[in-house]
Amino acid sequence: MQRHSPVCLAAAFAAALAAAPVQAEAFLRATPESPQQIALSFAPVAARTAPAVVNVFALKTSPQPSNHPFFEDPFFRRFFGDRGFGVPREKVQRSLGSGVIVDSSGLVVTNHHVIEGADQIRVVLTDKRELAAELVLRDPRSDLAVLRMVDPGKFPTVELGDSDALQVGDLVLAIGNPFGVGQTVTQGIVSALARSQVGVTDFQSFIQTDAAINPGNSGGALVDMAGKLVGINTAIFSRSGGSHGIGFAIPSNMVRVVVESARSGSSRVKRPWLGAQLQPVTLEIAEGLGLSRPVGALVADVPAGTPAAKGGLQRGDVIIAVDGQPVDDPAGLGFKLATRPVGGKAAFTVHRGNREQQLTIALEAPPESSGREQLVIKARSPFAGVTVAALDAALADEMRLPFNGQSVVVVKVERGSPAEHVGFQAGDLVLQVNGVNIGTPSDLDRVTKAGARLWRLVVQRDGQTVSMVFGG
């Protein structure tokens, strides 16, 4: 009987919510006390939310090479075109995921990886209607995208909940289209909060659940017992490709930021920028600073002119809370800032000199250069094949890099290029070439065009500065 108690709890809450909304919170974490409560089900919550969960089909067309020798013969192609022998010269790739309608006008939230690179997007509703959709906003940093169904109409929606109010042990439902079998509802609990080692997005603060999530569930809904959206299902931990009871969802408070940006007509999401360089607090650091345990974000550097500097943050401070919410590590701090609107202020609690202090820091967007200069280095050199850009504050924040003045960053490395063979990666900072300080992409272009028999490079990666020497 004990195994079925979560079902009872959900049903008891659903019944209480319908009968007496004022008492809903009291029933949220109650234990079933009668056979009648045990006999209840999740059906009311599923019926209310499932119509707003859709299937998302993304189609991408890519050239399809052929090994048949006639395909490359101009005479053959004049007569048969690009579909000789009935074989198409293009390959259509299809990806399947789920999405959630969050606005009755037809706005749909899904995962960015579901629709990435798609030439055509279609949405299938629970009533079997299939509608074309257009991409309104994509945010790879959070792995979220917002679509709009092209056909006008009034659509069912799921209300966004407050993911910060979730507690470990709360009951949740996962709704999506696993393996393309059709809409499926699974039940579980919140297994953990603020998971930061998932590696799917820049903002590492996931809801972990044991509700069954499988391929095809990506972009689907994680709802609480009040029928509110508390997360977008995104990833699973699996060695077999199936559910092992460890699934991850993007919290709804991050979803809200992306949706509001889409509603405002913005082409991208603007988030607050602190500007300080942070590092985790280890046990040794905690002991040295007089902290009772290793939590918080240690301020390693505070560049001048940043919101952190203007707000009074100092090197050696440990940020332990934002607006009264505890900060476990730099990833947790990044998530908390990313879910706050630009233009406001935040109250930071910092540990400094064996005591706590309160600081008020403005929530400003990172400044961006009026024209971001990018260059492809083509001259014969170890850099041939890289695309570099001037590292402004906005690009530094986007690429999760330190910003401390003029720098040149590698943003792309062409496959098979000399630069790839040397080992350059996106995010590398080019500091010096043959004794010349590199402050702009033009500096690097000029130095490489001059040529050399020996190349002495100074490059920074992951905070480590490395000197290298290559032959010309």
Catalytic residue, chosen from 95, 98, 112, 113, is: 113
Task: For the chain, give the number of residues.
Answer: 472
3-state secondary structure string, the chain? CHHHHHHHHHHHHHHHHHHCHHHHHHHHCCCCCCHHHHHCCCHHHHHHHHHHEEEEEEEEEEECCCCCHHHHCHHHHHHHHHHHHHCCCEEEEEEEEEEEEEECCCEEEEEHHHHCCCCEEEEECCCCCEEEEEEEEEECCCCEEEEEECCCCCCCCCCECCHHHCCCCCEEEEEECHHHCCCEEEEEEEEEEEECCCCCCCCCCEEEECCCCCCCCCCCEEEECCCCEEEEEEEECCCCCCCCCCEEEEEHHHHHHHHHHHHCCCCCCCCCCCCCEEEECCHHHHHHHCCCCCCCEEEEECCCCCHHHHCCCCCCCEEEEECCEECCCHHHHHHHHHCCCCCCEEEEEEEECCEEEEEEEECCCCCCCCCCCEEECCCCCCCCCEEEEECCHHHHHHCCCCCCCCCEEEEEECCCCHHHHHCCCCCCEEEEECCEECCCHHHHHHHHHHCCCEEEEEEEECCEEEEEEEEC
- 218 classed as catalytic: yes
- 143 classed as catalytic: yes
Catalytic residue, chosen from 98, 218, 261, 407, is: 218
- Return the axis-axis angle of helices 252-263 and 330-338, rounded to nearest 10°: 40
Binding site annotation covers 218? Answer: yes
Sign of torsion, CA 67 68 73 77? Answer: negative
Binding site annotation covers 217? Answer: yes
Task: Please answer whether residues 111 and 143 qualify as being in contact, where contact means their C-beta atoms are separated by less than 8 angstroms.
Answer: yes
Measured CA to CA, the distance from residue 53 to residue 177 in angstroms comes to 9
Binding site annotation covers 143? Answer: yes
Q: Which residues pair with 297 in a beta bridge?
A: 280, 319
Catalytic residue, chosen from 98, 112, 139, 143, is: 143
Structure tokens at 114: 């579901």
In a 13 Å sphere around the CA of 147, the CA atoms on its Cβ side amount to 31
Sign of torsion, CA 310 311 313 314? Answer: positive
Q: Are strands 454-461 and 464-471 parallel, antiparallel or unpaired?
A: antiparallel
Q: Which residues contribute to the annotated binding site? A: 113, 143, 216-218
Q: Which residues contribute to the annotated binding site for substrate? A: 113, 143, 216-218
Active site residues: 113, 143, 218
